[in-house]
């Protein structure tokens, strides 16, 4: 099933982003770590993806 | 869990911009690892460990949406001072106390983040629809690792002002614990890292019991590379492995998960056992 990645910026604007790779490390009683990778040679995402903004991932039915 | 449930909710923490852009994101437990229990807010006496756990989460100044677990665990903390601990460290310490204090037949607790909430709950039972079944059809590769170096059969925990709690320990005729170093301290673990936090002897003993409970069985961890067809798996999830190819037919719990979703899709699960039922056997053997 594909994954949908939603991004919410500091002003509350929400949009879908399309990473080329998502990797996850999930350990017991510890924070889950997700790394999103974007092929960003055009700079499309560089000004958008910044710390403190929210990421949500769900499986798309 | 249905397919439309969120599988991750967290914040972007680091970004790295080069040939490609990468963003590392963490869930709410990461925020709790970077926030300390404030001076004057960390002392608790005679409270249920679950209620203390909830208080530690609820007083977070970070964007924790809430607490979704059971408040009552039935494990009473005699005296503890969590001041200056990170909230995540305090939660881990309370988890050890809870798992040291529950009955031998009870299911151990764990905590996790889900949709911005922190949840403290017993592991799900080995029954119902929650069990992940792994067979030769959906397992690509299995490897076993047995780490006997981590075997301990007794522990001493040092608390504030040098108080000590032991496991196993002896009791006097009234049932009160007496200071008594284990009579046969082979494979002994001395735990000193909580010396400023554990104010009561009973809490020290529960930490020692929790430790021995976890490390007194040497069982192999199983690493499974599986075909990644779902991403809603969680740590503590019961797994039944039935592999003729690897000669495995038993139950485990998921300890760690790594997965990658891109041009290639991979998923690796580390599975481990938590043999609560062995504790009484161990204590009986030790006291002989």
Query: Averaged over B156-163, what is the pLDDT?
Result: 93
CA B48 to chain centre: 18
Q: Which residue has the tokens 């040497």?
A: B218
**What is the per-residue DSSP string for B239-260?**
EEEEETTTTEEEEEEEEEEEEE
pLDDT of residue A3: 92
Instruction: Evaluate if residue B189 carries a pLDDT over 80.
Output: yes
pLDDT score at A19: 93
pTM: 0.84
Return the sign of the alpha-carbon dihedral for residues B260, A30, A48, A13. Answer: positive
**φ, ψ for residue B163, nearest 5 deg:** -65, 150
User: How close B192 comes to chain A (CA, Å)?
Assistant: 21
Residues 6 or more apart whose Cβ sits within 8 Å of residue B76: B46, B47, B48, B49, B101
Tokens for B172?
Answer: 């006097």
Identify the weakest region by mean pLDDT among B134-138, B256-260, B277-281.
Answer: B277-281
Grouping H, G, I as helix, E, B as strand and the rest as coil, residue B201 is: helix
Q: Check if the beta carbon of residue B76 is closer than 8 Å to that of residue B49.
A: yes
Distance between CA atoms of B271 and B268, rounded to whole angstroms? 10
CB contact under 8 A, A3 and B261: yes
Task: Please give the average per-residue pLDDT across B91-114, as a whole number.
Answer: 90
How close does chain A come to B198, measured CA to CA in Å? 21
Nearest CA in chain B to A20: B262
pLDDT at res. B177? 52
pLDDT at B55 over 90: yes
Label residue B288 by pLDDT band (50, 70, 90). Answer: very low
- ipTM of this model? 0.94
- Of 3.30.1780.10, 3.40.190.10, 2.30.300.10, 3.40.50.10260, which CATH number belongs to B128-147+219-275? 2.30.300.10
* Under-70 pLDDT residues of chain A: 41-42
């Amino acid at each position: 099933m594909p994954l949908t990645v939603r991004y919410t910026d500091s002003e509350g604007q929400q949009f879908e982003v399309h990473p080329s790779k998502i990797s996850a490390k999930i350990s017991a009683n510890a924070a889950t770590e997700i790394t999103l990778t974007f092929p960003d040679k055009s700079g499309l995402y560089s000004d958008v993806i910044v710390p403190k903004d929210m990421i949500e991932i769900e499986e798309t039915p | 869990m249905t397919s439309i449930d969120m599988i991750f909710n967290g914040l972007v923490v680091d970004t790295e911009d080069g040939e490609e852009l990468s963003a590392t994101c963490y869930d709410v437990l990461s925020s709790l690892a970077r926030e300390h229990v404030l001076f004057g807010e960390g002392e608790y006496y005679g409270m249920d460990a679950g209620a203390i756990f909830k208080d530690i989460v609820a007083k977070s100044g970070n964007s924790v949406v809430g607490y979704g677990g059971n408040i009552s665990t039935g494990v009473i903390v005699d005296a503890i001072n969590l001041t200056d601990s990170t909230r995540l460290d305090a939660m881990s310490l309370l988890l050890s106390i809870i798992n040291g204090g529950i009955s031998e037949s009870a299911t151990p607790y764990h905590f996790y983040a889900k949709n911005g909430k922190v949840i403290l709950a017993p592991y799900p039972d080995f029954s119902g629809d929650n069990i992940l079944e792994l067979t030769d059809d959906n397992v690509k590769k299995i490897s076993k690792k047995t780490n006997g170096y981590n075997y301990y059969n007794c522990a001493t925990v040092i608390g504030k002002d040098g108080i000590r709690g032991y496991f196993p320990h002896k009791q006097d005729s009234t049932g009160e614990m007496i200071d008594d170093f284990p009579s046969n301290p082979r494979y002994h673990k001395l735990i000193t890292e909580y010396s400023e936090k554990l104010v009561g002897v009973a809490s020290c003993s529960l930490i020692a019991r929790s430790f021995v409970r976890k490390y007194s069985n040497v069982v192999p961890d199983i690493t499974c590379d599986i075909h990644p067809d779902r991403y809603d798996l969680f740590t503590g999830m019961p797994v039944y492995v039935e592999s003729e190819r690897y000669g495995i037919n038993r139950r485990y719990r998921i300890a760690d998960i790594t997965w990658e979703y891109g041009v290639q899709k991979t998923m690796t699960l580390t599975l481990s056992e938590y043999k609560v039922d062995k504790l009484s056997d161990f204590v009986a053997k030790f006291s002989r």
